[in-house]
Amino acid sequence: MSRFVVRRIVEILVVLAVMSLVIYALIGLMPGDPVDLMIASNPHLTVADAARLKALYGLDKPLLERYAAWLGAALHGDFGYSRLYARSTLAVLIPRLGNTALLMGMSFALTLALAWPLGLLAARRPGSWFDGVANLSSFATISVPSFWLALMLILVFAVQLGWLPPGGAATIGAGGVADRADHLVLPVITLTLVNFGPQLRYMRAAMMETLHQDYIRTARAKGAGEARILTRHALRNALIPLITVVALSFGSLFSGALVTETMFAYPGMGKLIYDAVLGNDYNLALAGLLFATLMTLLANFAADLAYAAADPRIAYR
Amino acid sequence: MSALAQPRVRFGGSVLLALALAVVLTPWIAQALGAHADTVDLYHRFAAPSLRHPLGTDELGRDLLLRLLAGGQVSLLVGITAALAAAVLGTAIGLVAGYFGGRLDALLMRLTDGVIALPLLPLLVVLAAADLHKLGVPAALRDSEAMSLYRIIVLVTLVGWTTVARLVRGTTLSLRQQDFVRAAEALGASHRRIMLVHILPNLATPIIVATSLAVGEIILLESVLSFLGLGVAPPLASWGNMLTGAEETIALAPMLAVYPGALIFLTVMACNLLGDGLQQALDPRRRR
């Protein structure tokens, strides 16, 4: 087990290193560079000044050399300075990480609490009216554009009914848990609905597969109760393929978070990356994307560990 | 024609046909209304529905129905083109992975899983903001109005191929073990010939199913990128970028925000139901 953990951690570090280079190169494709922005904001700069500045910041060097310099600094915890927020990148990033983790965590827990039981019950009687309703609702939530769903929720609950705030994470000046919770309701609902459909379908498909197995018939023949068959025999086995697909869905959860946070002006990582890209804040966009990738990789790692716990036959070595 | 017996196929197919028909008939509808999708009329901003403007007008006094039809044309065009491109790319990757197996298969499937597992939208946001000058795109193309269309098609193709690749790989793996493939091998057929002549025709079902599912996914991706201002660029209308303007005036004119999103929803739902229905109808193992 511990050797497996070490191997996976090494793998994560390798993937992270590769992705950091890819992301670094991508950021390099964004319009302009920091010196271009300085030139734009200061008409007195001469061509010689610009060249000197480019040399000073190392922008005249080839991509790999610049990447190596950035990586060296990043490994020492220095991700540079955020142009948009005029603070160190990490100081901007870390509070946002917490906000996003809160939004994604609550929504993910709620999604599974809703979708899994429904998927399980739908798989019991394929073709029944309950299965039909479950299927249709999962199709509907898969097909709805997340930003439009957010817009409609804002329209109904914030603009017309005035029950909930249309955006932000807290009312300025009024702190408190209840206020934060108010601001989380609509974003969490949006993100939950968007991920509900796929999770229901995963659970339904996995349960349909296991409910046809011989050991289910054996359990029935033994006289085991229906609830026990479903949870102890079928669900336990369905969890194994399920964890794999759930692990792969963390990336799309983050994509959903970017849309949700942008729509509700919720100060999380997704909105931060979007604002950084639009505002040509290279350091911030780079660090934001890297942390988003790291979060996804860690979530996958957690799923791997859950996999081992769910399937005792798998002995990681 | 057993596929048509599926209610999902019938529903999805009819919705898509109706939308396609409406888009094709746009010029005549425009003529009947005596307006054009880009006709600005600042004296009649946010007009209520009337005979002249069946769905009213938008923030620049443009006819909403005509804008929706023009946007539909772009959204469907982008969706179908990108889905076909993604289908070709995904088929090539899935076929090679499933046929050759071994290390190549492991590598390609890790790549596929990697693309699925990554936070794609943030990466796409960066790619969409990329400076075309730095990518070496010729100036004439860079400045053309259709550039935003080409860009969004390329972007969503880059991430849309995974569904097709996985389905094609799975089917290829099982086809590879079949007698007719072994017979072709024994007769000395080349790898290329076996893949293209013997296996590819048998992949029609998974490719059709995955592509119709991919169209829905791709239309959603196009709409969100266009909404964020990184996809189809105005003045070209798309359902996604129509919602960008509608967001700002939502308290004043809520219907401007309702219609484009409802159309995206309906189209994607139709594609998904069609894909799922086809899968059940065409794949005997899935039949209940």
What's the pLDDT tens digit per position in B86-140?
999 999 999 999 888 888 888 888 888 888 878 888 888 888 887 777 777 777 7
Closest residue of chain A to B265, computed from CA coordinates: A144
Q: SS3 for B16?
A: helix
Contacts of B243 in chain A (CB under 8 A): 147-148, 151
Whole-angstrom Cα distance, residue A205 to residue B276? Answer: 13
Per the DSSP assignment, residues forming a β-bridge with B63 are B57
Whole-angstrom Cα distance, residue A258 to residue B18? Answer: 33
Regarding an ipTM greater than 0.95, the answer is: no
- Which of A148, A295, A296 is closest, CB to CB, to B243? A148
For chain B, say whether A200 makes contact (Cβ under 8 Å).
no
pLDDT in tens, B207-265: 888 888 888 888 888 888 888 888 787 778 888 888 887 777 777 777 778 888 899 99
For chain A, say whether B179 makes contact (Cβ under 8 Å).
no
Long-range contacts of B53-59 (CB under 8 A, 24+ apart): B55/B255, B55/B259, B56/B253, B56/B255, B58/B242, B58/B245, B58/B246, B58/B253, B58/B256, B59/B245, B59/B249, B59/B253, B59/B256
Give the gap in angstroms from C-alpha A16 to the nearest C-alpha of chain B: 11
Residue B42's pLDDT is what? 67
For chain A, say whether B120 makes contact (Cβ under 8 Å).
yes
Whole-angstrom Cα distance, residue A175 to residue B130? Answer: 40
Cβ A179 vs Cβ A171: under 8 Å: yes
For chain A, say whether B84 makes contact (Cβ under 8 Å).
no
Give the gap in angstroms from C-alpha A287 to the nearest C-alpha of chain B: 12
Distance of CA B236 to CAs A86, A125, A127, B75, B219, Å? 36, 48, 44, 11, 16
Contacts of B216 in chain A (CB under 8 A): 142-143
Residues in chain A: 317
Inter-chain CB proximity A145 and B121 less than 8 Å? no
A284 C-beta neighbours (distance < 10 Å), count? 26
User: How many contacts (CB atoms, under 8 Å) link A and B?
Assistant: 139
State yes or no: pLDDT of B288 exceeds 50: no
Contacts of B244 in chain A (CB under 8 A): none
Whole-angstrom Cα distance, residue A125 to residue A119? Answer: 11
Interface test with A, best of B68, B123, B263 (most A CBs within 10 A): B123
State yes or no: pLDDT of B3 exceeds 60: yes
pTM equals: 0.83
Contacts of B113 in chain A (CB under 8 A): 248
Q: CATH classification of B3-286 is 1.10.3720.10, yes or no?
A: yes
Q: Which residues of chain A have pLDDT under 70?
A: 1, 34, 173-175, 314-317
For chain A, say whether B220 makes contact (Cβ under 8 Å).
yes
Inter-chain CB proximity B119 and A254 less than 8 Å? yes
Query: Which of the four pLDDT bands, split at 50, 70 and 90, describes residue B285?
Result: low
The residues in A 14-53 lying below 8 A from B, measured between CB atoms, are 15, 19, 23, 26-32
Beta strands of B115-266 (E only): which ranges?
A: none
- Which of A19, A145, A289 is closest, CB to CB, to B126? A289
